Amino acid sequence: MEPSESTTALPSTTNEDLTPLEQDVLDEYERLAENMKKLASLLDTMAGKPTAEILDGLRQLERKTSLVFTLLKASVYSIVLQQEIYSGDQVGGSEDGGR
């Protein structure tokens, strides 16, 4: 038994061998394959380098986060300072009252 060529390669078909519907289906599959290749290439390019919009968004987020952190530090410092002043008044007031 001879190995058939159809197992290793697709049989060559000519346009006369196909019905118009079959040819349309094959054409659509070919267009779909090309579109998928283009999409894969575009996605690969986009994944390789972030877009300017993403970078701008990250910069804005960094600025806002930095601002919130600065305000938080200032609030904590203000609370600690107020507590020191309050405890200093209590200590000073009890010393004056004891004399």
Query: In the predicted model, what is the mean pLDDT of residues 52-81?
Result: 92
CB 15 within 8 A of CB 23: yes
Q: How far apart are CA 82 and CA 21, in angstroms?
A: 84
Q: Is the pLDDT of residue 62 over 90?
A: yes
In the chain, % of residues over pLDDT 90: 51
Query: In the predicted model, what is the mean pLDDT of residues 78-96?
Result: 81
- Band (12; pLDDT cuts 50, 70, 90): low
If you average pLDDT over every residue of the chain, what do you get?
Answer: 81
- Picking from 72, 91, 94, the residue whose alpha carbon sits closest to that of residue 83 is 91
Q: How far apart are CA 93 and CA 90, in angstroms?
A: 5
Q: Which residues contact 23 (CB under 8 A, 6 or more apart)?
A: 15
pTM (two decimals):
0.42
